[in-house]
């Protein structure tokens, strides 16, 4: 029999956010708005809930930090897939242009470093302190406060950890993956901003032809 007594493994607040994300994704598909900031955030919220629900149903016996890293990696792939689907139904798309490929600059490399550092800190905290924040560690007022928090957010266990770990970690992992893809794509190409790079002036072929005539 289904136990609906509080607190739930995944609380009302994540569930309400998932309902909002589902509506936002539905609206982006029906109106064919496609890829917007609202639809991307909706995709992230929906994927995070799917990962948390999977953790609640499957109940993996592996280490929590490893389960979180797997959820972040698979969640990033799911987000890319959803965004690709949104792009396919988008009614107004920018005109295709020939991109000028060049090696990533210092700002992009710095951004990749920030994303990697954030992932290391986030997953490292889950690895070093897997049981921190659980209500069993508190007494008195703090225990009551923790129990009240669990009524709204959910029981401090793997599903809730997966939910917030995906919400916070997937954007950083997506940025890191896009940066690595840009590095491989532009490997061996010169940097257009290098001081030694010379631009070849355009030649007016028509003018030269008229001069010969």
50-65 pLDDT tens trace: 999 999 998 888 888 8
Q: pLDDT (tens digit, 9 = 90+) per residue, 151-194?
A: 888 888 889 999 999 999 999 999 999 988 888 877 666 554 55
This prediction has a pTM of: 0.79
CA proximity to 63, closest of 163, 161, 137, 146: 161
Angle between the N-to-C axes of helices 37-58 and 158-185, in degrees from 0 to 180, rounded to the nearest 10: 130
Q: pLDDT (tens digit, 9 = 90+) per residue, 79-112?
A: 999 999 999 988 877 665 545 556 666 788 888 8
Q: Cα angle at 130 between 127 and 131, to 5 degrees?
A: 165
Determine the Cα–Cα distance for residues 92 and 49; give it in Å rounded to an integer: 30
Separate counts of helices (H) and strands (E) for the chain: 7, 0
Structure tokens at 147: 């129990």
Q: Taking phi first (over 0 means left), then psi (-120 to 50 degrees means alpha), and beta for anything else, what does residue 188 get?
A: left
CB 173 within 8 A of CB 72: yes
């Amino acid at each position: 029999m289904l136990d609906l007594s509080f607190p739930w493994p995944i609380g009302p607040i994540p569930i309400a956010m998932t309902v909002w994300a589902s509506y936002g994704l539905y609206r982006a598909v029906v109106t064919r708005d496609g890829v917007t900031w609202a639809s991307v955030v909706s995709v992230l919220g929906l994927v995070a809930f799917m990962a948390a629900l999977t953790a609640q149903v499957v109940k993996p016996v592996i280490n929590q930090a490893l389960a979180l890293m797997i959820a972040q990696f698979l969640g990033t792939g799911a987000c890319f897939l959803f965004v690709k689907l949104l792009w396919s139904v988008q009614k107004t798309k920018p005109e295709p242009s020939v991109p000028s490929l060049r090696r990533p600059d210092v700002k992009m490399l710095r951004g990749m470093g920030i994303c990697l550092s954030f992932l290391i800190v986030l997953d490292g905290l889950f690895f070093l302190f897997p049981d921190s924040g659980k209500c069993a560690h508190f007494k008195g007022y703090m225990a009551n406060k923790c129990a009240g928090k669990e009524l709204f957010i959910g029981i401090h266990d793997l599903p809730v950890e997966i939910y917030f770990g995906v919400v916070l970690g997937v954007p950083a992992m997506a940025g890191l993956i896009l940066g690595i893809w840009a590095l491989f794509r532009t490997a061996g190409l010169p940097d257009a901003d290098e001081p030694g790079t010379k631009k070849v002036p355009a030649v007016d072929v028509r003018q030269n032809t008229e001069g010969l005539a």
